[in-house]
Amino acid sequence: MIKLFKVKEKQRAENAKGPTNVKKQSPGELRLHKDIGELNLPKGCNIEFPNGKDELMNFEVTIRPDEGYYLGGTFLFTFQVSPVYPHEPPKVKCKAKVYHPNIDLEGNVCLNILREDWKPVLNINTVIYGLYHLFTQPNYEDPLNHEAADVLRDNPRLFESNVKRAMAGGYVGSVVFTRCV
């Protein structure tokens, strides 16, 4: 038989010894920990924590689309998660320069759930699926790169050619892209 009162006395004695080196987690860290534990990533997506599991609030996601214009490319995104997450969306940036209507040349991402459509019920898994969807179905109706959006809308064959050239590390117009295939 377990002596419940003995266990409680032992816990009180350990707590009375003073604070331990356990860092108190913010609500955002707790929610993020839950989100990461429930990840169900699309095929071709990977998550890494370059600063180790002790630093969950900053991580990287690699996306390798298996269809569409960006097939064969590898795209790295950084995520910075606020301590007030999920009340604020994570800040997401693409590390590579990519020819894409919804990603500008500085790596900013135009994804509605990272802006006006963010709701606390959304999670990291939803954001990763949204990013993946941008590569399988780029959207010219809500662009950050207006030139790429116009080409996609008006001449999909030229858009495909520009994407291939950019992913191979070539020029599109006067902009040089780094190889991502």
Q: Which domains does the chain have, with CATH numbers?
A: 24-168 (3.10.110.10)
Q: Which pLDDT value is given to residue 4?
A: 47
DSSP string, 16-81: HT---SPPPPPHHHHHHHHHHHT--PPTTEEEE-TT-TT-TTEEEEEE--SSSTTTT--EEEEEE-
Mean of pLDDT values over 79-83? 96
What are the phi and psi torsion angles at 98 (to 5°)? -130, 140
What is the rounded distance in angstroms from the CA atom of residue 32 to the CA atom of residue 12? 30
Q: Which pLDDT value is given to residue 21?
A: 58
Percentage of the chain beyond pLDDT 70 is 87
State the average pLDDT for the chain: 90
Locus of tokens 């370059």: 50
β-pair partners for 108: 93
125 to each of 34, 42, 60, how far by Cα in Å?
A: 11, 9, 13
pLDDT tens digits along 108-165: 999 999 999 999 999 999 999 999 999 999 999 999 999 999 999 999 999 999 999 9
pLDDT tens digits along 28-54: 999 999 999 999 999 999 999 998 877
Q: Residue 101's closest CA among 181, 62, 63, 155?
A: 155
The residues annotated with a catalytic role in the active site are 110
Q: Which pLDDT value is given to residue 8?
A: 53
What is the rounded distance in angstroms from the CA atom of residue 16 to the CA atom of residue 25? 21
Do the bridges between strand 171-172 and strand 91-94 make them parallel or antiparallel, or are there none, so unpaired?
unpaired
pTM: 0.85
Tell me which of 108 and 18 has the higher pLDDT: 108
Of 4-18, 66-80, 114-128, 162-176, the least confident:
4-18
Q: Residue 94's closest CA among 122, 132, 68, 121?
A: 132
